[in-house]
Structure 1
Amino acid sequence: MRWSQTIFAVLVALSLVLCSGGNAWASSNEQLKWIEGGRKVDLGKVAEVDLDPSLLFLDAANTAKVSELNHDKPSGKEIGSIFPKDENQNWEVVFEYYELGHIKDDEKEDIDADAILDSYKEGTEESNKEKAESDRLYVTGWDVEPFYNEATHNLTWSMLAEDGKKEKLINYNVRLLTRQGYISAILVSDPAHLDADKKFLNEKILPKLTVKSGERYEEFDASTDKISEYGLTGLILGGAGLAVAKKAGLLLLLAGLFKKFGILIFAAGAGVLGVIGKFFVKLFRRKKSEAAQDETNDREHTETLP
């Protein structure tokens, strides 16, 4: 099934849900079991969200199905996803959980945003030398510089970039530290509506997310719990470290690792927006030949962070 057909199938599924309030299916016969808002829902075994009535929820299995409908390989770490009921809103929040050990936050006062940005820029420039202009990526700056909220144990950042056609690209990432790892919250939006969607995420979703007892960051037990090898800077760089990021480059990370690192890319004004503007925007810009390369790169980077 072609990508556009898959998206259309998901659109049909959502429209049926909105009209009937029940389960719906896409033309590919993939069932998506939507959960209506106005109740608490589990994010795997690690957390729960008190879901606003204006929202819809998919559990881990159904979140993975959406990835499959989009011809994207599920990470296997999905714990749920949230969507607006309002068809005029174009966003999605995907949650994943990674148990990598307790992540120390002792870098909270020393996150060097300039060094991190320079690292990505240098790596990208190096990788661009081997790419056609249409395949190049240019990191232009921060939308939101990395910052850590000690009260909530949340690490947040948003990077700006553009492709060879000068189309703007953006991502928005939140990492919620837990006792033995972190929850990744990825906001899927488009640049034109990102500010409003960030506001909704930070005011209506994240404050209602509760890490379950026994999994909370402050419940860390030094006598029994593993310490992660990654710090806050490592999470931003995907666990690769500054030196490796400079060598590998952001374009290399794009080949399969953007999804793993929680860095989702969206193009403003692309023609696809007009096709799926009634639902959510998740642009997969890679060609089939690039998808094959993704699998190779994934195997080469199995030890890096998602």
Structure 2
Amino acid sequence: MTTTPTRWMRAFAVACLGAMFLGATPAFAEGSQGAETGQNAFAQVIAAAQNDIVKGPQDIKLSTQAVLHLPEGKVYIPQPHAAKLMRAMGNPGDYSDLEGVVFPRGDGDWFATLRFEKSGYIKDDDAKHWDAADMLKSFKEGTEASNDERKKMGGRALEITGWAQEPAYAADTHRLVWAMKSREVGAPAGEPQGVNYNTYALGREGYMSLNLVTDLDALPKYQGDAKQLLGALEFNDGKRYSDFNAKTDHVAEYGLAALVLGVGAKKLGLLAVIGAFFLKFAKIIVLAVVGFGGAIMKLLGRKKSEAAES
């Protein structure tokens, strides 16, 4: 069931989008100049993407590999808007394998990225022997290395503080789950930490990843959303893990443990944790565009006419 936004949320969204389309800069009650710049960039990306945003329930093709049965109450932002969106939120990196980003339409302070990596068939027989401590060390080092680039793009330096859930693999469904805790460098000890809740679905030619980003304290509340999206992900006939042909198919150069330890740290585990204010702002902008876009555009058109007359 989709939650209807309150009146102040609608008013705030109209004000922000109105200022954006009319060339003015909306004022925000909190946040640094860098954060405000990021918010403006986010709003501009959403505005450019409004004709391509998909509202659930609807099936979405992911590469030539799978289908996401997007549930009711979720919205999907495809490429190329998705990559621009991630960078606007202070996440540098390569997004060539990013399929799109999912947001909730109603209550819910989270977003999720969807990627496909054509790595080849990944053997999972090493899942029982990996070392969670080594994986944690890799994530910490990778995050530190990316902080300079993150700062250049207006983001803030991050640090990894530990596992929220150590890697766990289900051999029957070929699903891998793990969660990493993170926070901004120098943040007060009592400030809420963020979390990247990562899920992988292995296929014949590679893997789909779904990475849900939210506050650590909110993870128990939104784990169900991640599981719902993962359950709504279905590989096409001939692309499933069980369709592997040892005689013809390419096998990945790394196993399941390395997927988390190295490749996972590089590609999936370093998303910035968006502060509560920015995350809610993002949700409001998405709601405004996909829920009230027509009314807002009429309002903006009227404002432009009034400005011209003045």
TM range (shorter): 0.5 to 0.7
Q: 1:125, 1:239 → 2: CA distance?
A: 13
* 1:227 alignment counterpart: 251
Q: 1:154, 1:125 → 2: CA distance?
A: 25
Q: Compare CA radii of gyration and give the structure with the larger one.
A: 2
1:275–1:150 Cα change, 3 Å:
same
Name stretches of at least 5 consecutive residues in structure 1 with no aligned partner: 14-25, 241-252, 281-306
Select the residue among 126, 130, 133 that pairs with 1:107: 126
Listed one character per residue, the Cα deviations across residues 129-188 of structure 1 (whole Å, up to 9, x for unaligned) are x9xxxx876543210000111122111111224423345342221121111111121112
* 2:209 alignment counterpart: 184
Listed one character per residue, the Cα deviations across residues 212-236 of structure 1 (whole Å, up to 9, x for unaligned) are 1111111111111111111111111
* 1:148 alignment counterpart: 169
* 2:273 alignment counterpart: 266
Contact 2:101 2:113 in 1 (8 A): yes
Contact 1:124 1:137 in 2 (8 A): no
Q: How many residues matched?
A: 239
1:8 aligns with 2:43: yes
Select the residue among 119, 137, 159 that pairs with 2:180: 159
Select the residue among 39, 45, 53 that pairs with 1:34: 53
Contact 2:203 2:239 in 1 (8 A): yes
* 1:76 alignment counterpart: 96
Contact 1:108 1:232 in 2 (8 A): yes
1:214–1:33 Cα change, 3 Å:
same
Select the residue among 98, 123, 136 that pairs with 1:117: 136
Structure with the bigger percentage of helix: 2
Structure number with higher relative contact order (C-alpha < 8 Å, ≥ 6 residues apart): 2
Amino acid at match of 2:167: P
Helix, strand or coil at the partner of 1:157: strand
1:85–1:186 Cα change, 3 Å:
same
The alignment's TM-score, normalised by the length of structure 1, stands at 0.66
Amino acid at match of 2:239: E
1:138–1:53 Cα change, 3 Å:
closer
Contact 2:67 2:234 in 1 (8 A): yes
Select the residue among 31, 48, 71 that pairs with 1:52: 71
1:151–1:190 Cα change, 3 Å:
same
Amino acid at match of 1:187: L
Helix, strand or coil at the partner of 1:114: helix
The alignment's TM-score, normalised by the length of structure 2, stands at 0.65
Helix, strand or coil at the partner of 2:262: coil
Q: 1:182, 1:107 → 2: CA distance?
A: 17
Amino acid at match of 1:183: M
Amino acid at match of 1:173: N
Cα offset, 1:116, TM superposition: 2.5
Name stretches of at least 5 consecutive residues in structure 2 with no aligned partner: 1-24, 26-36, 149-155, 287-310
Contact 1:173 1:184 in 2 (8 A): yes
Calculate the aligned-residue CA RMSD, in Å.
3.4
Cα offset, 1:63, TM superposition: 2.3
Q: 1:38, 1:7 → 2: CA distance?
A: 25
Cα offset, 1:83, TM superposition: 1.8
Amino acid at match of 1:180: E
Percent identity of equivalent pairs:
30
